[in-house]
Amino acid sequence: MPRIVIDVERCKGCGLCTQVCPKGDLVQMSDEFNSKGYRPSKFVDPEKKCIGCAFCANMCPDVAITVYR
Ligand code: SF4
Ligand code: SF4
């Protein structure tokens, strides 16, 4: 089952990854802060809709997203 893992300490909360998922809102902004004071993104996929396309990972300027297929 495809999934992504977001390295919250690398994430600067730019939100770019939340705008490209073809499955909708699988990548959302977290309500919590990382140690640098940024609000990172989070992966929310209770219905297992991720297809592992890596659009989110490719969009990330900080290489904070790893895709597992
Ligand atoms: S890998 Fe593709 S389907 Fe999965 S969360 Fe990222 S953009 Fe969405
Ligand atoms: S694109 Fe990268 S740095 Fe920006 S919010 Fe997403 S994971 Fe964080």
The CATH number of the domain holding residue 39 is 3.30.70.20
Residue 43 three-state SS: strand
**What is the token pair recorded at 29?**
């902004």
Number of domains in the chain: 1
What is the model's pTM? 0.96
pLDDT at residue 46 in the model? 98
Ligand nearest to the CA of 43: 1
Residues spanned by the domain of 37: 1-69
What is the per-residue pLDDT across 15-25, written as a single tens digit (0 to 9) for each? 999 999 999 99
Residue 4 is predicted with a pLDDT of 98
In this prediction, the residues of the chain whose per-residue pLDDT falls under 70 are none
Given this model, what pLDDT does residue 34 score? 98
Cα of 50 vs centre of ligand 1, distance in Å, is: 5
Q: Are 58 and 21 in contact (CB under 8 A)?
A: no
> 59 CB less than 6 Å from ligand 1?
no
- Tokens found for residue 7: 């390295």
